[in-house]
Amino acid sequence: WTEGTLEEAENSLRELAALAETAGSEVLDGIVQRRLKPDPATFLGSGKAKELRDVVAATGADTVIVDSELAPSQRRGLEDVVKVKVIDRTGLILDIFAQHAKSKEGKAQVELAQLEYLLPRLRGWGESLSRQAGGRAAAGEGIGSRGPGETKIELDRRRIRTRMAKLRREIAAMKPARETKRLNRRRNSVPSVAIAGYTNAGKSSLLNRLTDAGVLVENALFATLDPTVRRAQTPDGIGYTLSDTVGFVRSLPTQLVEAFRSTLEEVADADLILHVVDASHPDPEGQIRAVRQVFTDIDAQNIPEIIVLNKVDAADPFVVERIRQRERNVVVVSARTGEGLDALRERISESIPRPETVLDLLVP
């Protein structure tokens, strides 16, 4: 169900499928439902839900992923019809974040986002909670999985809020360490280049190409939740750092915006941004706009930017040409075939700040 056009719904579903594959699922089928309002009981409405049940039975799917946010009662209602697990978009993204968060800060941010997502849903779980009334209530068994009834839920809520406050303090305390690192780098005046862009645009592939870093590349959104920093060199031997950032997604759930933005601090501090764009995507220009909006939000709008128009091997030449003409600083590449990468290396070399002349004199 979508407020937008059918085409928007299909683009969104395509991304959802990519997200699901990132989370390790195999995508079997997709269904689009048009209606004025989501059904309060089953989200899809009973007719469509039954159709979905048949698709589930025919494909042998074990999970249904809904490209929207479901109320807890809708999720249960739909599960009762389709007889398999139902998760929503936010749940899926949280799952991926949890899988891929590696740094202490990344983990703390993901946990905070998970708790924020969980908190308003506790009441809706009352039913399943009371079924476990006699069950063990081991500490740390998973918040919300213990104890029945409203009082218990209130207690859990309080615990969650306490935990969230603690996480916020921890995250705030981690910032100075990063600041210090950054200042040190500034002092050493090593130019920094940040790679940013949508999920699946080819950021990790490009990082590999530019650094031979052996960073994990997979058809995986968020393979790079934690900022990874590598060393690279211009063709004439000037060293710089190259950092990969977490990918953008369409309609990022609000609970995740903070976690997402703080991973983009690297971008706000960079000397140059490589804004990677998938030229074979149905709406590359819309993606460029959305990424730029976030650059503005994090105060990175004045940092020099190269639009790296990637996947030219798979793109419509007409679209490539159109973007090349409309945007100021475009380099057309294919991280897959290697096309355009030398030109990109040259452009990076021209765009990063040069060490002071006095430093040049020190070099024999």
Q: Rule CB under 6 A: which residues touch ligand GDP? A: 199-205, 217-221, 223-224, 247, 310-311, 313-314, 334-336
Residues contacting 94, CB < 8 A, separation 6+: 110, 113, 114, 117, 256
Give min distance, CB of 59 to ligand GDP, in A.
24
Give the dihedral sign, CA 11/13/18/19: positive
**Residue with Cβ nearer ligand GDP (114 or 204):** 204
Does an H or E element contain 273, and which? strand 272-278
**Residue with Cβ nearer ligand GDP (206 or 352):** 206
The DSSP bridge pattern shows strands 228-233 and 63-66 to be unpaired
Give min distance, CB of 176 to ligand GDP, in A.
29
Give min distance, CB of 198 to ligand GDP, in A.
7
Give min distance, CB of 23 to ligand GDP, in A.
14
Contact 230, 215 (CB under 8 A): yes
Backbone angles phi, psi at 64, to 5 degrees: -115, 130
**Residue with Cβ nearer ligand GDP (42 or 263):** 263
Give min distance, CB of 244 to ligand GDP, in A.
7
Does an H or E element contain 162, and which? helix 149-188
HSE of 114, CA atoms in CB hemisphere, 13 A: 19
Does an H or E element contain 194, and which? strand 192-197
Give min distance, CB of 336 to ligand GDP, in A.
4
Give min distance, CB of 217 to ligand GDP, in A.
5
First-residue to last-residue Cα distance in the chain: 66
**Residue with Cβ nearer ligand GDP (164 or 333):** 333
**Residue with Cβ nearer ligand GDP (22 or 42):** 22
**Residue with Cβ nearer ligand GDP (164 or 309):** 309
**Residue with Cβ nearer ligand GDP (12 or 74):** 12
**Residue with Cβ nearer ligand GDP (38 or 247):** 247
Q: How far apart are CA 278 and CA 288, in angstroms?
A: 10
**Pick from 264, 326, 269, 254: nearest CA to 294:** 264
HSE of 168, CA atoms in CB hemisphere, 13 A: 9
Does an H or E element contain 66, and which? strand 63-66
Q: Which residues of 303-319 are buried (b: 16+ CB within 10 A; e: fewer)?
A: eebbbbbbbbeebeeeb
And the tokens for 120? Answer: 């308003």
Radius of gyration of the chain (CA): 23
Give min distance, CB of 174 to ligand GDP, in A.
24
**Residue with Cβ nearer ligand GDP (82 or 249):** 249
Give min distance, CB of 201 to ligand GDP, in A.
4
Dihedral angle, C-alpha 70, 138, 134, 73, nearest 10 °: 0
